[in-house]
Amino acid sequence: MAMPLTPPPGTGLRFIPGFLSRETQERLIALLREVVRHAPLFSPVMPGTGKLFSVRMTNCGPLGWVSDAGGYRYQAAHPQTGRPWPPIPEMLLHAWAELTDYPDPPQACLVNYYAPAARMGLHQDRDEADFTAPVVSFSLGATCRFRIGGTTRGAPTRSFLLTSGDVVVLAGASRLAFHGVDRILAGTSTLLPDGGRINLTLRRVDRPTTQRREGAITQTTTTPRGVGS
Ligand code: SIN
Ligand code: FE2
């Protein structure tokens, strides 16, 4: 049995068990079925090796994270349909506002679907322009063993269980922490009929357009994103 996570103070890592009620999880799954109908799950490949991820993915929001032979990046269209990603469900935008004090909304919600045998190797989330924005992660369905370490690949790691409805926020020093999913624990949830797991991560990709300075909110100008920026 993994230890419950008690994040060390000052790391910016937050763990909020049971943040989403069962009823909210069910509503979210219904909304995600719509998302997947418009933006089907796809199997990304690793840029270097061309190996398929075991996790299938899609996105909602103005931008979506993709990985292919060209590298990791955010883009405005689904790689297979060429259509814009569907919008991020309102309830997730509200959760972002409740859980973070970041001035702007998230731009991408990566939807990771883990079949019972899927896993995700240790990695950093670093394709975003502004690491002061947190990454907010929601777990739905089967329990997983989540692993998190430091900001270098060799730093010690520890693992803990994430169950349906739990939220993890990677902020501050933990924003660039290596993390991954060791495995999915079969038979631990009835939320998804096939025993899989869904993880949603809300990400801000570009720098904010709103800046808080000495209590005042001022607009800043931003240049439009180019491919690969
Ligand atoms: C991710 O790092 O993109 C996914 C983490 C998770 O599935 O909990
Ligand atoms: Fe990640």
Q: 197 in helix, strand or coil?
A: strand
pLDDT of residue 11: 80
Q: What confidence tens digit (pLDDT) does each residue in 74-130 have?
A: 999 999 999 999 999 999 999 999 999 999 999 999 999 999 999 999 999 999 999
Q: What confidence tens digit (pLDDT) does each residue in 21-80 have?
A: 999 999 999 999 999 999 999 999 999 899 999 999 999 999 999 999 999 999 999 999
The reported pTM is 0.89
Q: How close is the Cα of 125 to the center of ligand 2, in Å? A: 5
Task: Tell me if 112 CB under 6 Å of ligand 1.
Answer: yes
At 124, list the tokens.
Answer: 């950093």
Instruction: Identify the nearest ligand to the CA of 141 by its number.
Output: 1
At 12, list the tokens.
Answer: 């910016």
How much is the CA Rg of the chain, to the nearest whole Å? 17
Indicate the domain borders of the chain: 13-205
Tell which CATH classification among 3.40.190.10, 2.60.120.10, 1.20.1740.10, 2.60.120.590 matches the domain 13-205: 2.60.120.590
Residue 221 has pLDDT above 50, yes or no: no
Q: What confidence tens digit (pLDDT) does each residue in 197-208 have?
A: 999 999 999 988
Pocket test for ligand 1, best of 14, 16, 112 (most atoms within 8 A of CB): 112
Cα separation, 212 vs 227, whole angstroms: 28
Which residue do the tokens 């269209």 mark? 77
The Cβ of residue 72 has, within 10 Å, a number of other Cβ atoms equal to 15
Cα separation, 2 vs 18, whole angstroms: 17
Cα separation, 208 vs 125, whole angstroms: 18
